[in-house]
Structure 1
């Protein structure tokens, strides 16, 4: 694999490793790109099969669920089936190993825009900004629907398209996902803001850094003196980035960890 990488990229990885090895507080934001490397379609990808005539943006809204809850629920059950057999890739694994092995002088806070649980499967502790595909809650009283809070590792997981109702208020059960027009969960966002504002290095992985409010985290970090590293095969035109690693995260992250280990 190393033979396929350009000398310039390897030099940038070494530069990033040197920077990271010397810093204490690291904040990592992951987006759809890291999950796409595990075979999970991105939210912007064209729908397939029975859903090819629908746009994701038209289904993932409170109004869509109020208008046709069965349609939206069926779509999410379909999405869960697409994700159920997917497993962490080398980038997920490298991040988990880094977080678990971080010494006393280093703290790694992992934030994700993704709704899958591949970070958890790899062994990471992660804050979800956009909710979790494997959790449900009531659309009326917001109570968690505990019986359905299952991860993909659960052998009893069901993909029944029949609507479920809340045992507390009889409201329809919905995925615990942040839909268009909804606010990010307050506690998760506070964790992300605090980590970005106080980090020494902010790493953006597999995300365009153009969709707000998450895109504002890198700017917040920069304003508070942090260095910015972007890992993305298609880097975004962003003047605040200090080191760009233009390659897949599954390639870059293990190499980055290797060079950091050599410096410790």
Structure 2
């Protein structure tokens, strides 16, 4: 059996992802599910294909529009084209959803501490609750062989008291790797105030931050304004050119009429 890492934007993976989202929607009535982040995506060649995905799913409850981000370890089997006995093309053969766990061993990442301090408007003291989902992902490579990596979905929430003022924080982020000795792999925040995942760079508290949604929006706006400016300038140039060309023709006619009058 051969495993291969694949791009989540691959059309085949997009179809598998849509199937998985539909299965979750059918299983949980009144809840809309959307894969928000891929922590791992592999394809196994068997009698057909096995798609092995480790994803964070955004679940939105229709009744109260409550949002939650849940880690899933998924295996979807794609029946081969010649399998005429299959009732449907895809089959969900594994959906492992680890329960949240908490305790003194739960590691609070430096970047998450900074984020919590920004949200709370003060210094983080560890009084908020921190729990996590944990899955072990098997990685297969023809050269490096077999290895494993830990993927964790963290949730930080609870009340925080600062100088007599109560603050509340509730956000989720996903990590890949152990994050020991200040080493952290890139991870992503999922916040109720953020409509899309915001990637952040690793490397401890001094690591480079990822692209901010506001920054991306600002850059997009600047590019749009620049393009609009180019279009406006082009229209003005065409207008000036046509106006000058029209004046040249009028001057020529006037000169011809003047010559006729002189004759």
What TM-score comes out, normalization by structure 2 length?
0.22
**Larger helix proportion, structure 1 or 2?**
1
* Higher RCO structure (Cα 8 Å, ≥6 apart): 1
Q: Find the structure with the greater CA-based Rg.
A: 2
TM-score, structure 1 length as denominator?
0.22
